[in-house]
Amino acid sequence: MSDTTSSFMEQLRAERDIKNTLQQYCRGVDRRDFERVREAYHADAEDHHGPYNGNIDGLIGWMVRRHEGVAQSMHFLGNCVIDWRSDRIALVETYCVTYQRLKADGASSLSDVGLTVGNSGQQTQVRCRYLDRFEKRNGQWKIAHRVVAYDSLLLEESPAQSPFAGDMQLSTRNHDDPLYALLA
């Protein structure tokens, strides 16, 4: 294999690893699997989420409290542009839309974590971009620094009762989710 082909293949592998890390982060948040979220970051990483800004231990603590008031969560990732700085550093801009339904009694837990958007029982749609510095250390691409840049927020009332039939499989925010039966 030529040096050019080998370099190209390594870059494709790195892109796949970076995008997989972003997707695993979203899965972790949506399923309240915060150790999976932690795995997306290097141990000394910083995250600037807006309501929380600091190290990863603090981010995880903030997320645990924040998501106590969230009944359902779903992240969609869109455009992902990777600007290579070296074979070990990449600057990554990823578009994200997050849909969340707040628990009927979740308003108080949201105010505790510096977030005042949405009321108890509402649905939110947040449009933002993840601006990440990824670094390859010990053979793994992980986030070393993140800034969440917010674009817009849409709030709407959530139906009081589920619109789904009783025999439909619903997602959950824990290991009871049907995903884990599939992975078993």
Could you read off the pLDDT of 48-99 as tens digits, one per residue?
Answer: 999 999 999 999 999 999 999 999 999 999 999 999 999 999 999 999 999 9
Residue 154: predicted pLDDT: 92
Q: What are phi and psi of 140, to 5 degrees?
A: -125, 135
Q: Determine the Cα–Cα distance for residues 81 and 145; give it in Å rounded to an integer.
A: 16
Which pTM does this prediction carry? 0.89
Residue 145 in contact with residue 133, Cβ under 8 Å? yes
- Every domain of the chain and the residues it spans: 3-161+168-183
Cβ contact 100:70 at 8 Å:
yes
Name the least confident of 57-66, 72-81, 102-111, 173-182. Answer: 102-111
Is residue 40 classed as helix, strand or coil in its secondary structure?
A: coil
pLDDT, tens digit, for every residue of 117-168?
A: 555 678 999 999 999 999 999 999 999 999 999 999 999 887 767 777 777 8
Could you tell me which of 42, 26, 23 has the C-alpha nearest to residue 34?
A: 26
Amino acid identity, residue 46?
E
Q: 34-44, pLDDT tens digit by residue?
A: 999 999 999 99
CATH code of the region 3-161+168-183: 3.10.450.50
